[in-house]
Each structure stands twice: as C-alpha cells, then as structure tokens.
Amino acid sequence: MEKTWLLPPALIVTGFVGILPIFALLNYSLQTPFELENKFVGLDNFSKLFKDYRFTDAVIRTIIFAATSLAIQIPLGLGLAYLLRGASKLNAFISSLLILPPLFPPVTIGMMWLLLTRSNGPFGLIFNSILTSLTGEAYNIYGNAVHSFATIILMDVWHWTGLTYLIFLAALSSMDETYLLSARTEGATRWQIFKYAEFPQILYPLLFIILIRLIDSLKIFDEVFILTGGGPGLSTEFVTQYIRTMSIEQWIFGYSSAMSLVYLFIIIIFCWLLIIGLTKGRGILE
C-alpha cells in the first residue's frame, strides 16, 4: 500500500495535542502541585473524588440534563423535519430561523438568555405570567432551582433543535422512496410505515446526532456559566464548572486533574457503550 504517509500527519498532530496533556494530567493527579507543598499522594486524589458529594451530584445533574435535553430536542427535530420538509416559502423562512441558534457562540446564547429572562425582558415577563397563572409562583431563576434547571434545558433545546432538524431534514430528503411506496401499497399504517420503512434509513443520522449532542451536552459550560453561574446554590453546577473552579480558581490542582481524568473516562465509556449499542457492535467505522 502506497500513500500510507497520508495518515501520520493527523496522528502526529492529534497525538501531540491529545496525548501529551493526558500524561501531564496523570502526573499532576498523583501529586499536589501548586499548593503549599508538592507531595506525592498516589491515588489519594482519586479516592477523595468518590467521596465528594459535590462531584457525584454534579455528574448526576449533568447526566439528567443531557438525557432530558436530548429527549426533547431529537424528537422535536425529527417532528419539525417531517412538518417542514415541503418546499414552500413559509417552510424556508421558519427553517432559517430554526437553523440560526446552532450558529451562535454559546457565550452569546448565555448572554442573550441572561437578558431575556430578567423580569423586564421578554421571556421573563412571559414566563412569569404563565407560571403565576398556573402555579401562583413567580418566575425566579436565581431563587428557584426547578425554574433554573428548566430554563437551562429550555435554552439548550432552543440552541440545538435547529441542528437536529437540519440533519433529519437532509436524511428525509435523501430517503429511498421505494420502501415507502411498497409499504403503503401493502396497507401499512402511518406508524408502521415509519417504524419499518423510514426509521432504518435515518438510523445512521440518528446515531450521529445523538452522539454529537450527547458529547456536547456532557461538556456544556459557556451558556450555563453566563446565565446562572451555577444556579441557586449548586443546582445548575455541572461538572465542567466544578472542574474549572477547582483548577483555575482555587488551584487545587492535583485534585482537579484527577477529576478531569475521571470525568473524561466517564464520557468516553458512555459514548463507547452508545456506539456499540446503536450500531449493534459493528463500531463506528462502518
């Protein structure tokens, strides 16, 4: 095989920026650098991690957030793709509005929502009137953990539905109609058509979008930090924010390195299981 030199450049670069830091982190996680004295503590940092309620809470919170947000934005994207796939000016207009938020920098989205959800901002006013008429409570992201968490999820759905929509739209428009036709002539119901004729064809895009969105949700930082800064108490503090506080702010660096490695490991395992599960063991290269 000639042209095998095509691959090494990518490996070299990624190796440099991807492996070197891991070694650095491993190195730090076994010591207490940048603190009063740097001593070797072995696996102490790791064992502390598992007893740390703030960490385990943050992990659970992040997972709940990711699961809920995905559970909303993916079906929503699919539904919208079905609804809007005809060619019409109205559809095109709505599509263009939908597709915009994924193009915004997350920090801009955080800032937009910060201003929007104040009590004198449009969303603040509207949510407040909805909530007070339904439950009698005022809308208060900084005082009420549920409001805060719900707003974050809403913001994330708002942010990314456009992307899921786009992917499904492309998938739908490239679908092979023959299966559909044969299913229809055989008298299948709409649901059966979907389940047996259409769904298998959107499986790969579905996997793609679930994987991407899951990874990004587990990594979320910018918007949440700007909007709630961790929320009332710690109710919207996700793992990335906690790592940041420990590493860049408090410089308890050995501990935060251990945390980084453990969290990275968690994410990788998650994704690996997902890939294996959804591709029935064939792996992602297929």
Q: How many residues bind another protein (CB under 8 A)?
A: 110
Least distance in angstroms from the C-beta of 187 to another protein: 20
Min dist. Cβ of residue 39 to another protein (A): 10
Considering only residues 40 to 79 of the shown chain, the ones binding another protein according to CB under 8 A are none
- Spatial contact of 130 and 123, defined as CB atoms under 8 Å apart: no
One symbol per residue from 4 to 23: x for binding another protein (CB under 8 A), - otherwise; what is it? xxxxxxxxxxxx-xx-xx--
**Site membership for another protein, residue 182 (CB under 8 A):** no
Specify the residue, 154 or 188, whose C-beta has the smaller distance to another protein. Answer: 154
CA distances from 113 to 69, 131, 221 (A): 17, 18, 14
| Residue 67 structure tokens | 């699961």
Burial of 188 (0-12, 13-18, 19+ CB in 10 A): middle
Footprint (CB under 8 A) of another protein, residues 202-261: 204-205, 208, 215, 218-219, 221-222, 226, 228-235, 239-240, 243-245, 247-253, 257, 260-261
Question: Is 115 among the residues that bind another protein (CB under 8 A)?
Answer: yes
Provide the token pair at 182.
């044969």
Return the SS3 of 219.
coil
Type of residue at 63: I
Query: With binding defined as CB under 8 A, does residue 82 bind another protein?
Result: no
Q: Which of 63, 94, 180, 274 binds another protein (CB under 8 A)?
A: 94
Indicate whether 180 belongs to the interface with another protein (CB under 8 A).
no
Can you tell me which of 118, 129, 130, 132 binds another protein, judged by CB under 8 A? Answer: 118
Q: Which sign, positive or negative, has the C-alpha torsion 278, 265, 57, 24?
A: negative
CA distance 99 to 24: 39
The region of 66-74, 94-102, 180-188, 189-197 touching another protein under the rule CB under 8 A is 94-102
Find the shortest distance in angstroms from Cβ 81 to another protein: 11
| Residue 44 or 188 with smaller CB distance to another protein | 44
Compute how many other C-beta atoms are within 10 angstroms of the C-beta atom of residue 244. Answer: 14
Q: Map tokens 């994410």 to a residue.
A: 267
Report d(CA 241, CA 233) in Å as an integer.
13
